[in-house]
Chain A
Amino acid sequence: MGESKYLFVEHERPFKYEEDGLNVTRGSAWSGPGCHLGCGVLLYTDAEGKLVKVEGDPENPYNQGRLCPRCLALPEVTNHEDRLKYPMKRAKEDRGQNKWTRITWDEAFDTIERELKDIKQKYGPETVLFMQGTGRDIAPYITRLCWSYGSPNFSLFLSGAACYVPRVIGLAGTFGAFLVPDCSQVHPDRYDNPEYVIPEVIFVWGNNCVVSNSDGFFGHWVVDLMQRGSKIVVIDPRVTWLSSRAALHLRVRPGTDAALALGMLNVIISEELYDYDFVDKWCYGFDELAQRVKEYPVEKVAEITWIPEEKIVAAARMLATSKPAALQWGVAVDMTKEAIPAGQSISTLFAITGNIEVPGGMIVPPEILKYVGGWGKDLLPDDAYTKRIGQDRYPLFASEAQPDCIVEQLETSEPYKIRAAWIQTSNFLACMAADPQRLFNAMKDLDFIAYVDIFMTPTAMALADIVLPAATYPERNGIRLGDGAQRGETINKVTSIGECKSDMEINLELGRRLNPEAWPWDTVEEMFTFLLQDDTGMTFEELQEQAPAYPPFQYRRHEKGLLRKDGQLGFNTATGRIELWSTFYSNVGLDPLPYFEEPTPGPGSTPELLEEYPLVLTTGARNWSMFHSEHRQIKRMRALHPDPIVEVNPKTLEKFGIADGGYVWVENQYGRAKRKVRATEAVDERMCSTDHAWWLPEGDPDKLYSVFDLNINNLVQWSPGKSGFGSNYKTALCRIYPVNESE
């Protein structure tokens, strides 16, 4: 092993051992099935190599032995009888019909290689899209595949890339780096670390984190900290378990978070509660910010956000007077059209109160591999880069093609016709796509579509010509270098199902066929070692034994010249300071200061629609047992959440004469989706809340498993913010009415 300053935990046993006749393998849970986190797991296999049990690894500081229901039930996913087990093909004219033929991997790879080379030669590589789903383990490999093939068009079918990326890009543009709340996750000794400080207050903003476990953040860390004395302030339209234990609960109208943050900034600045020294030394553009927030007096903000004035003031004062204060925020910030200024407003609160790079505040997460931005962009020729879709309209998009522009180009073929799509780990017709029927129509006549997943999905059934069976995480080797604070973790193969291959094996094999020079590795393990070795000094095999490996960490890196490549003090921005007035946004013609714009449609922007569509709709409520469109066929998980639910206040139900427990259509001017009603005081009388990503694996494949009846995104439009980031997934208007018995 090379010399390394990495920190490790002590292991009682090697990473593979025997226990009561079963083989146990220690490793990381990444994914699918399941979420972004990468918890430490112990995988139990029997003598035949079948996965029989999963336990949380008590030695892993990340989750400290704990696991959520999804990883506990992992054997029922990996061993499920409906898994895709071998490659299949289907004639193009049979798209949408359950008419598949089993083929060999050789035939599958030969066909894909032939089609992609043929299209490249005839029309150019940019005419092939490379689309992924939510960013879990796939991002480095699919980006390399896309760019080494010569296409600049890697992306995801999510309007405004409205998940995580807007906050990451936004913070890169203002702070020079992403920030995460310091819950001691960077220290192997966690809460006992002598430098660590328990946050006095944690703002949980647009994120039901104990359920969602998003962005590499183990949600129950907030509970750990509450048990150790942290107060919480919850910004959420719904009453949740967290809000019921909060010092303050701000029941914000969906989509108005920016207004709330600007109102709080107004209070903190006008009452001179900000950290004068920090602002003076490390921030740029404070006077302009102070001028801007005058446009957001508390009484106006109260009217916009539905939050009483006294609560806005109390939250602002609490933030300014609590040291340290941390922010755990979520996708609700991204899933509003003007996501960039929303994220800018919220993060600015933590800058001017001096909570950056301090223990228990907001820290720049250590990274071993840059997670957002892809791997191997240098492989793409300069002339190919100019053909990236949406690049002229939305210069803030630095790596991926802009999703809304892709949909437009699929329809118009301007400036060039898109010919094919490589789709990996993305069931977008059930999950992330806005207006899924529009996208289906735009996609259905492409020349060629290849698709990789662990189960058959409505998206594959609707569109694919070739389906490749992907491994779940216990069937593969891998490294966990993802979102949040990175640590060196390995995913370790313990079992095999059918002919499934891992996403990385599939990408390596296809990459070697399409551009062998860009893929010089014989095995995925060699590729992982290549990715790891520079930073960690370890091979993949060494890391398997040693993981988790914690990169050395220091606080207050801006005071030590550790945040900039040039070694200068300060932050990695043009001015070297946190830019409250962003030169980055200004340079691309965007407003350099944060602002609020009413979501549209909405009660503030289109009051004339309220008569027909009287309720504010918010979507994407998370539940314990399902990750996005996964787990619907896992009976034990489905039993915890059997139906798509819309939560409505009992008084609202009474007003519209709708029965609790009945089925309704949730409908607006764009479309409708079927839901079961749950009456609850948890939501305001003026709104309703629903979960997302529904389809019925038990349904009819030829009807695409009822996806177009159930997909709540029937009510959501492809409609990004001015920067190209953000979209109104979490804010729309709707009405609800009972479903007829015949429907």
Chain B
Amino acid sequence: MANLGMLLDYEWCTGCHSCEIACQMEHGFPVGKTGISVHTIGPWEIEPDSWQLDNIAIPTKQCNACVDRLAKGKLAACEHHCQAKCLHIGDMDELADSLKEKPRQALYHLT
């Protein structure tokens, strides 16, 4: 399989934790351990009517990109359940092209 990446459009990540809990349930992780973790930056006021408030999901060392699910033609558990549909796992080269198309995204190189 090609190199796998995870593209997160953090303009749209609402911080709902679905990726995190889906990952934990899929892989049987105990409470407190996870393959992906959601973090919130803010809120703080930058200037009137402009606020810093972003959520960002970060894969951990325990993320295996759900390769078993991908092999069966399914989406990774996190991507499948992402409520804002802002997280995608796929081929690094293709995701790198998508990354260039829009600001406020982050690309992780998984495998």
Using CB atoms and an 8 Å cutoff, list the residues of chain A in contact with chain B: 53-56, 58, 65-69, 72-73, 75, 210-211, 220, 223-224, 226-227, 239, 241, 243-245, 249, 624-625, 635-636, 639-640, 680-682
Contact = CB atoms under 8 A, between A and B. Distances in A.
Contacts of A245: 11
The B contact surface, by secondary structure, is: mixed
Contact of B18 (A68, A227, A682): A68
21 contacts: A54-B25, A55-B81, A58-B80, A66-B85, A67-B18, A67-B22, A68-B83, A69-B21, A72-B21, A72-B22, A210-B16, A210-B83, A223-B12, A239-B51, A241-B14, A244-B43, A244-B51, A244-B53, A624-B17, A636-B21, A636-B31
B69 to A, nearest CB: 10
Contact of B16 (A55, A65, A69, A226): A69
Contacts of B45: 681
B72 to A, nearest CB: 8
B63 to A, nearest CB: 17
Contact of A625 (B17, B24, B81, B83): B17
B84 A55 contact: no
A232 to B, nearest CB: 13
Contacts of B53: 239, 241, 244
Contacts of A226: 12
B49 interface: yes
Interface in B58-92: 75, 77, 80-85
A223 B85 CA distance: 9
A639 B32 contact: yes
Given A68-B16, A210-B83, A624-B16, A249 B49 contact: yes
A635 B21 CA distance: 12
Given A636-B31, A639-B31, A681 B80 contact: no
B85 A239 contact: no
A681 B43 contact: yes
B81 A75 contact: no
Contact of A640 (B17, B22, B84): B17
B12 A227 contact: yes
A244 B17 contact: no
B5 interface: no
Interface of B: 11-12, 14-18, 20-22, 24-26, 31-32, 42-45, 49, 51-53, 55, 75, 77, 80-85
The A contact surface, by secondary structure, is: mixed
Nearest to A64: B85
A227 B20 CA distance: 22
A223 B18 contact: no
B83 A223 contact: yes
Given A69-B17, A220-B84, 7 more contacts: A55-B81, A66-B85, A67-B81, A210-B14, A220-B16, A224-B85, A244-B52
A220 B83 contact: yes
A668 B18 CA distance: 37
A72 B16 contact: no
Contacts of B22: 67, 72
Given A66-B85, A67-B81, A244-B51, A53 B25 contact: yes
A226 B81 CA distance: 19
A65 B44 contact: no
B43 A682 contact: yes
A75 B17 contact: no
Nearest to A54: B25
A624 B44 CA distance: 21
B84 A223 contact: yes
B23 to A, nearest CB: 9
A66 B52 CA distance: 27
Contacts of A56: 80-81
A243 to B, nearest CB: 8
Contacts of B77: 55
B51 A66 contact: no
A220 to B, nearest CB: 4
B31 A223 contact: no
A306 to B, nearest CB: 15
A226 B83 CA distance: 13
A223 B14 contact: yes
A229 to B, nearest CB: 13
B91 to A, nearest CB: 21
B24 A636 contact: yes
A343 B26 CA distance: 43
Contacts of B51: 239, 243-244
A85 to B, nearest CB: 23
A290 to B, nearest CB: 31
Nearest to A63: B83
B80 A55 contact: yes
A233 B77 CA distance: 32
A69 B55 contact: no
A252 B75 CA distance: 41
Residue of A72, A226, A245 ringed by the most chain B CB atoms within 10 A: A72
Contacts of A624: 15-17
A597 to B, nearest CB: 30
Residue of A58, A210, A241, A635 ringed by the most chain B CB atoms within 10 A: A241
Contacts of B20: 69
A72 B29 CA distance: 13
Residue of B16, B44, B83 ringed by the most chain A CB atoms within 10 A: B83
Nearest to B77: A55
B102 to A, nearest CB: 11
Nearest to A65: B80
B37 to A, nearest CB: 11
List 9 tightest A-B contacts by C-beta distance, closest first.
Answer: A244-B53, A69-B21, A220-B83, A72-B21, A244-B51, A66-B83, A210-B14, A239-B43, A635-B31
B81 A65 contact: yes
Contact of A681 (B17, B44, B84, B85): B44
A241 B15 contact: yes
Contacts of A243: 51
Contacts of A54: 25
Contacts of A73: 21, 25
B26 to A, nearest CB: 7
A55 B79 CA distance: 12
B84 to A, nearest CB: 5
Nearest to A70: B21
A220 B82 CA distance: 10
Contacts of A210: 14, 16, 83
A65 B19 CA distance: 12
Contacts of A68: 16, 18, 83
A580 B82 CA distance: 42
Residue of A53, A69, A73, A249 ringed by the most chain B CB atoms within 10 A: A69
Contacts of A224: 85
Contact of B42 (A65, A66, A244, A640): A244
Contacts of B75: 65
Contacts of B18: 66-69, 72
